[in-house]
Structure 1
Amino acid sequence: MDMAGHAGLDPADVDVFRALLARPETLAADLDPAAVDRLEALGLVRRGVDGALAALPPHRPLLAEAHRAQSRADALRDTAETLRAEFHRRPGAARDAVEVVVGGPEIVGAAVQIARQARRLVRGFDRGPYFHAGSLPDDAQSRSWTRGVPWRVVYEGRSLQAEPPERWKHLGSTPGETGRILPRLPFKLLIADEDAALVGLAGAAGQGEALVVRGSLLVDAFVRLFELQWELALPIADVARGGDDGADGLGGDVLTEVERRLVAMLSSGMTDEAMARAIGLSHRTVQRRLADLARRVGAEGRFQLGVQAARRGWV
């Protein structure tokens, strides 16, 4: 196998090493002096007092050099990322960092591109109006997960109120996704790492405009906004699927699966009508269940019920 191109070795160095293997005790003066110096520095040859050279076992020295080369490559990549970020954050860079995208299909296409370029993490705000049904085209989110890129998504409860129960069943179910929910979100948002963001603007379903922002202080601001909203949001598992065993393990109170889902939906800001559609109960039954829960914890009204539910670890 040809060793040419290995870190720290030129083709001439490899030729000299092989010549030593074929003719032991060759004098250094009979070989390329620069190649001999490089081989000696790598620990691949030893020079005798009479000027004769002896080849040494190459495995350990070459592995050590490979590790050093990898460290240099990693440092170079880190420097490239740092300088790229500084370049995009230079004064006035924001003027060149924003692109306007118009129309539903074009916005979806931009979202797919953003998702595909992520290498570490995708963050997102999911709210209506929706430009498409189901997952992104070409399973962009699933493909991110196959590359080891997780998703963190905050859903807007108000936008989901009019959605059918099937929508709730699939909420947060994509592999690699962690979902949370808030009553309201400011806009649609998709962020790839800390490098690019897609910001959806208001518009009717299937229409609207979006901004694609790349590598600027604006992306940093969107990341900070997302993290603030993420901390406030309610984990979506109980909202979408209900609890596993119905016990909260804190205050000793036991809730049924339906009660846990109702409390979680209440905390997310959903109306009684929306909760009834999502669970498949009548509006009156939902109201009665909530009233029973309020009596159990001594709450007067929806707000106090939500506070008591949080204190008892129900959400």
Structure 2
Amino acid sequence: MLSVLGLDDLENRLYERLLDVSSASADRLAPDVGADVAEVVLALAGLEARGLVARSSRHPDQVTAAPPDVGLGSLIAERQAALRRAQQAVPALVQRYRQAVGGRDGSDVVDVVLGAEAVAQRAVQLQHGARREVLTLLPGDPPAAVQDALDRERAVPRGVEHRLVVARAVLEQPGLLERLTDPAGRPEQVRVATHLPLRLLVTDRALALVPLSSGSGSGGTADGAGALLVRPSGLLDALVALFDLVWQRGHRVVGARDGGAQLASTPLDALDLRILTLLLSGLTDQSIGKQLGLSLRTVQRRARALMDATGVSTRLQLGYEVARRGWV
């Protein structure tokens, strides 16, 4: 809990233990925190230097904890001051970076990131650093790779617009739909495309992460041999344009987050609306049943009811009719 203030795990346990006792020696504290006496002595010295503990005037071998509002309050104020100084330094650092970028030749437009761990770390850094928007293309990789990618999608900060396009094959994986449309998770807007040419991560339309090769399967967010970090350039413009084109042609996936607002303007219930959007995304009845936890017969029955409600006899006509009525 106190690691953000610079305390290690042992120092944290010692300080919390001292809050429960009036005073104690290193010998007494060692078994309480599960550490050697020598380790406790060093940790107490660190706490004393931070002003979190003080020596007892009557028993020099014992220490007492400083009141949290005094000791911790001082450390918090120091950290806040350090953060303000760092924040004030950012504009100058950004200016230096932009000047350096302006002087780069073509070979500096792309950085090569090698190794699965390095690629994953860079993807999380890009997402954490986003200020306006994050754009992601997620093709139909193996299930484990898709799950890892979605886990890392949660690194996107609150308040940042996040748009994700997934390949239809992704929705064939059981349980993926719920993760994509979880109201407590990310991203806010999801669309599905028949096929995606590559995995792509773009932040603020200023940086992009793409697979090092078509065989790596890593894209910006999954395991693989490596990736390319693309800086502002014609190549980056092309990647952003690719995302915009794919997004425009994709079908929106309706989830619990936005389904309520859409239901107000349609005669459909929440389940029918989700079935309809998945049908329009190209999923088979069997795949829809797996995603929504329904039997094949139930999906077919409700699809038939949608056709009857719109007065059509084929699913092709159903798609046209619901689009004409503005239901999706």
Amino acid at match of 2:270: E
For the pair shown, the structure with the greater C-alpha radius of gyration is 1
> 1:169-224, CA deviations, whole angstroms, 9 ceiling, x for partnerless residues?
23154667421212332221111223210113445684454322122211111112
Cα contact 1:131–1:206 (8 A) shared by 2:
no
Question: For residue 98 of structure 1, what is the aligned residue in structure 2?
Answer: 110
Aligned residue among 293, 304, 307 for 2:320: 307
Report the secondary structure of 1:140's partner residue.
coil
Amino acid at match of 1:140: A
Q: RMSD over aligned Cα, in angstroms?
A: 3.5
1:266 to partner: Cα distance = 1.2
Say if 1:288 and 1:246 are closer, same or farther in 2 by CA, change over 3 A: farther
Question: For residue 211 of structure 1, what is the aligned residue in structure 2?
Answer: 228
Cα contact 1:273–1:283 (8 A) shared by 2:
yes
1:84 to partner: Cα distance = 6.4
Amino acid at match of 1:96: D
Q: Higher mean Cα deviation, 287-296 or 198-207?
A: 198-207
1:136 to partner: Cα distance = 1.5
Say if 1:157 and 1:179 are closer, same or farther in 2 by CA, change over 3 A: farther
Report the secondary structure of 2:210's partner residue.
strand
Question: For residue 263 of structure 1, what is the aligned residue in structure 2?
Answer: 276
The CA distance in 1 between the partners of 2:161 and 2:307, in whole Å, is 38
Report the secondary structure of 2:202's partner residue.
strand
Report the secondary structure of 1:243's partner residue.
helix
Cα contact 2:192–2:252 (8 A) shared by 1:
no
The CA distance in 1 between the partners of 2:285 and 2:245, in whole Å, is 28
How many residues align? The count is: 228
1:81 to partner: Cα distance = 8.3
The CA distance in 1 between the partners of 2:132 and 2:186, in whole Å, is 12
The CA distance in 2 between the partners of 1:199 and 1:259, in whole Å, is 37
Amino acid at match of 2:126: I
Question: For residue 238 of structure 2, what is the aligned residue in structure 1?
Answer: 221
The CA distance in 2 between the partners of 1:100 and 1:78, in whole Å, is 22
Amino acid at match of 1:181: R
1:261 to partner: Cα distance = 0.6
Aligned residue among 122, 136, 139 for 2:152: 136
Identity of aligned residues (%): 33
Say if 1:197 and 1:299 are closer, same or farther in 2 by CA, change over 3 A: same
Report the secondary structure of 1:190's partner residue.
strand
Say if 1:301 and 1:241 are closer, same or farther in 2 by CA, change over 3 A: farther
Provide the TM-score with structure 1 as the length reference: 0.60
Question: For residue 156 of structure 1, what is the aligned residue in structure 2?
Answer: 167
The CA distance in 2 between the partners of 1:80 and 1:240, in whole Å, is 45
Which segments of 5 or more consecutive residues in structure 2 lack a partner in the other structure?
1-90
Aligned residue among 193, 202, 210 for 1:199: 210
Which segments of 5 or more consecutive residues in structure 1 lack a partner in the other structure?
1-74
1:18-37 correspondence to structure 2 within 5 Å: none
The CA distance in 1 between the partners of 2:92 and 2:226, in whole Å, is 38
Amino acid at match of 1:313: G
Amino acid at match of 2:168: G
Say if 1:84 and 1:273 are closer, same or farther in 2 by CA, change over 3 A: farther
Aligned residue among 278, 283, 291 for 2:304: 291
Report the secondary structure of 1:182's partner residue.
strand
Q: Higher mean Cα deviation, 99-108 or 264-273?
A: 99-108
More helix by percentage: 2
Report the secondary structure of 2:282's partner residue.
coil
> 1:247-282, CA deviations, whole angstroms, 9 ceiling, x for partnerless residues?
453xxx611221111111112222212110111111
1:131 to partner: Cα distance = 5.7
Q: Higher mean Cα deviation, 289-298 or 214-223?
A: 289-298
Cα contact 2:180–2:186 (8 A) shared by 1:
no
The CA distance in 2 between the partners of 1:194 and 1:151, in whole Å, is 12
The CA distance in 2 between the partners of 1:300 and 1:100, in whole Å, is 54
Aligned residue among 137, 144, 153 for 1:125: 137
Provide the TM-score with structure 2 as the length reference: 0.58
- Does residue 181 of structure 1 match 2:191? yes
Amino acid at match of 1:266: L
